[in-house]
Amino acid sequence: MPEQTEYAGIAALTICETLLLAMNDYHLLPEHEVVGVLRDAAASHENAAGLGSNADMHRAVADMINQIIAGGNSVRRP
């Protein structure tokens, strides 16, 4: 059974993704800015992975964010 922290992570991801979608839908951020936010988040984890502390976790998080970018999940595309 997943731990409480896993549930918190899933909830946080869902909330953030919904906020990014809403910001794009209401023209608060254009698509390239939404993607830029995600790229910055991935880069932060890629850089942290190079520091050695929890490197595997940081690589996995960066990979997950990059998959979101590739899949277009946080931007509604026709």
Q: How much is the pLDDT for 77?
A: 60
Residue 61 pLDDT level (bands cut at 50, 70, 90): very high
65 inside domain: yes
40 inside domain: yes
Domain total of the chain: 1
66 inside domain: yes
Over residues 26-38, the mean pLDDT reads: 94
pLDDT beyond 70 at 78: no
77 inside domain: no
CB within 8 A of 77, min separation 6: which ones?
A: 31
42 inside domain: yes
Q: How much is the pLDDT for 53?
A: 75
Q: Which domain, by its residues, includes 56? A: 30-72
Mean of all residue pLDDT scores within the chain: 88
Percent of the chain at pLDDT above 90?
A: 62
